[in-house]
Structure 1
């Protein structure tokens, strides 16, 4: 094991972007459509515009930090550099909740989809196979993951294009081309700003992935140039995919009246549009999509743990080292894999509502850190440009995130506070241990 950066050919801009898109799970738009359509009264594409705007503001903050720093670690490193290591520790600890739960959720979803396709194999076996497969791939060099992610992202996007084609031809044959060339999916009738914000608060967490690419700095060519670009590209491309797909779903389903279960509308959406055969193919694409997200989220989680291990928050002997031959944080990868295996015993409803807390802490911390570092510490205040970049934009971003905090699920908030309490106990344990070492060495 070694604490040096991995050897081998580094990732390119587009490989990092593909990993970010895989993390975002593009086909999640079908899973959340029925829920958000009910909240927004049939204005899902408009809610995506709200969500994309809020996420672009925060992504810009991440891009600014990644341009100014070669250190990976996402919100953890950026907050530690600008505000201090203690604050960085708590932000990193809260973010870790989000990073650890995403691989677990993807394993859980993969097992659900695979069990639906082949019910003769028990769900527990599918969960175990999914967790082991994702862990095994992540043990090898990151370029292997990038190449697999390209395949797993391309296939679902291709299926989404087929879906769009079927929607256009179906509406054209049934109602005429004038019902295709319309702005009805974006705006029809009156809507309330509060419902759009509520819908956007659900959709914002579809964009998780732009922050994860910042953990790959040490494995990326020219990171101060490519990571900021990858952050913005991941957000924009993901937003375009989400908006386009939601537009054509909303065009075909103006409301939820045709859905038996709006909270799980994906099977009904693809069945009504393409029939039973297309529904089966689409479900296979959804499995690939979930595996792609599982691979990417596993990679990001293991690297965040590795970075925190290098800082001795976790035992450096294990978590802070890279495997000499593989060039990966092998111990951290296996640790995340073991956590993912908890999917064999947990229910989706128990886990999915808990994922928001860490993301909101990270987003708030990074936006505030931009203000602290560039406006206060570096004193970049003169001129309209500096005032906009270092004061106005971070302030607007924090306000947008506050709207999301207001809509945070109560269960997520309670569980997040419990996780934070564990972090506080770990922090004081580290402080007391350090003081004991100092006292012992004095004697």
Structure 2
């Protein structure tokens, strides 16, 4: 039984986010400055074609982004892949998908806190990492508790700062290349292709940089806070294309300046790249932009994973789930879930960055693969929309390509990522067995205010397109009231 204190509070999130606010949260999550942090490692792994690795990853993500956009229209809930798998396949399977996705969603706020700890420890080695992590995590948690609108505004300010510095870097790099540095010209195709390029190394590098694109999918977490349900599919594609363009262009100029990474520190190339084009002053500003990027990603990732925990809690009948689904009566934010993410992020004071990175892409690529599969099952199998060539392309061909490409990246993950990812999945399976009493108890699935759009095997799935249009129109009218 739900306690009176919990029952008395509202259970819905506030619809306050417009298109560009959501795009900004997605870009903040993606952290455009990452291209410089990882440049040395990706250049070495790809054989000197960083922009090609980003382009390959972008193509993979575009197919998956289309699938996310389509499924968020069908199930406009904040649960993302967890919701789509639960509704389309089975709640038990959906729980495992959500559990696996938590591996990257829950760890990214921790990664950002860990990066900030490393930045400040380099300047102040005598101060304990707990001081930096504790203060930083408390600030990010309070901003997320306050309201999603305030989170969005702070994120936008930090995002603009880092994009301006990236544009300045590109301008300075253009001048340096014209002056004879690196390849000697900004128009060389060497950063994209040269005689020693091997597809295997490009794919291997793409599995690394796909981490940078995690964020477009997290946009679906804001579905229940978007002013208009149609905003989210547009924001998914826009954030992916804008982020991909920033990664590609910045990677192109960095690779043009440094055809070889000899002399660059593999894990900390960002300050060295900045110093090479603009000297000490620009290096300071560029590092400041990197700190801003970490803060923006912290805000966006903390907000999105708390929404996923909120939806998973809303669909649970246990005491833990009920508390995760608690919405603060004044701020209308998922308060308990936000605080929980903050507590997990505190482990950044002792965590190892390489170990955490090895876990993140495992969960993301599984979620991407499953979302593509749900498109096929929902539109081609359930609704049998395979009568025309256009329907076959949209409902079978495009998601199948998405599945193949994401699986290709997944099987190229490191052995360490596979091992720890499978351990996490096994823990999730044990948790599911306990929750369902070895599948004797059913998991509850609730989309709250949007349930009418996806009632199960009947309802929306059985509607003709013209009937669905009427339902969508009615839903839009109700949301405007």
**TM over 0.5, shorter chain:** yes
- Calculate the TM-score normalised by the size of structure 1: 0.94
1:355-434 matches, cutoff 5 A:
355-432=360-437
Q: Give me the whole-angstrom Cα distance separating, in 2, the residues matched to 1:213 and 1:59.
A: 10
Q: Is the 8 A contact 2:85 2:97 kept in 1?
A: yes
Q: Could you tell me how far apart the structure 1 residues matched to 2:175 and 2:203 are?
A: 33
Give the C-alpha shift of residue 171 in structure 1.
Answer: 2.2
In the aligned structure 1, how far is the partner of 2:145 from the partner of 2:207?
A: 34
Moved over 4 A (4+): 175-178, 433-437
Question: 1:372 & 1:351 partners in 2: Cα distance?
Answer: 33
Q: TM-score, normalised by structure 2?
A: 0.87
Q: Distance in 2 between matches of 1:176 and 1:280?
A: 23
What stretches of structure 1 of length at least 5 have no aligned partner? 438-443
- How has the CA–CA distance of structure 1 residues 216 and 176 changed in structure 2, closer, same or farther, with 3 Å as cutoff? closer
* 1:222 alignment counterpart: 228
Change in Cα spacing, 1:31 to 1:177, as seen in structure 2 (3 Å) is closer
> Partner of 1:337 in structure 2?
342
**Does structure 2 conserve the Cα–Cα contact (< 8 Å) formed by 1:134 and 1:294?**
yes
2:279 maps to 275
Cα separation, partners in 2 of 1:433 and 1:394, compared to 1, 3 Å: closer
Q: Residue 39 of structure 1: CA displacement?
A: 1.6
Distance 2:259 2:182 in 1: 16
Counterpart of 1:319 (choices 324, 328, 343) is 324
Distance 1:34 1:313 in 2: 48
Q: Does 1:103 align with 2:109?
A: yes
Checking the alignment, whether the CA contact within 8 Å between 1:123 and 1:344 is kept in structure 2 is: yes
Matches within 5 A, 1:61-80: 61-80=67-86
The answer for the alignment partner of 1:350 in structure 2 is 355
**Offset of residue 138 of structure 1:** 0.7
Query: CA, structure 1 residues 245+152, in 2 after alignment: closer, same or farther (shift >3 Å)?
Result: same
Tell me if 1:285 matches 2:289: yes
Gaps of 5+ in 2: 1-5, 443-481
Please give the per-residue CA displacement for 1:183-212, whole angstroms capped at 9, x wherever unaligned.
Answer: 332223341111111111111111000110
Name the CA distance, whole Å, in 1 between partners of 2:207 and 2:352.
23
1:263 and 2:270 equivalent? no
Q: 1:157 to 1:66 in 2, by over 3 A?
A: same
From 138, 141, 144, the counterpart of 1:138 = 144
What is the number of equivalent residue pairs in this alignment? 434
Match of residue 464 from structure 2: none
State the shift of 1:120 in Å: 4.6
Residues 173-184 of structure 1: pairs in structure 2 closer than 5 A: 173-174=179-180, 179-184=185-190
Q: 1:4 aligns with which of 6, 11, 14?
A: 11
- Matches of 2:322 and 2:75, distance apart in 1: 25
Query: Do the aligned partners of residues 114 and 87 (structure 1) sit closer, same or farther apart at CA in structure 2, a change above 3 Å counting?
Result: same
Aligned match of 1:440:
none
Q: Which residue of 2 aligns with 1:239?
A: 244
Q: Deviations over 1:56-81 (max 9, x none)?
A: 01111101101222222110001111
Q: Distance in 2 between matches of 1:93 and 1:421?
A: 10
**Pairing of 1:180-195 with structure 2 (within 5 A):** 180-195=186-201
Contact 1:114 1:287 in 2 (8 A): no
**What residue number does 1:441 align with?**
none
Find the residue that maps to 2:267 and give its secondary structure.
Answer: helix
Deviations 1:343-386 (A, max 9, x none): 11212122111111110110111011111111101111111111
Residue 131 and residue 78 in structure 1: after superposition, are their counterparts in 2 closer, same or farther (change >3 A)?
same
1:300 aligns with 2:307: no
Pairwise CA distance, 1:434? 8.9
Query: How does 1:76-225 map onto structure 2 within 5 Å?
Result: 76-174=82-180, 179-223=185-229, 225=230
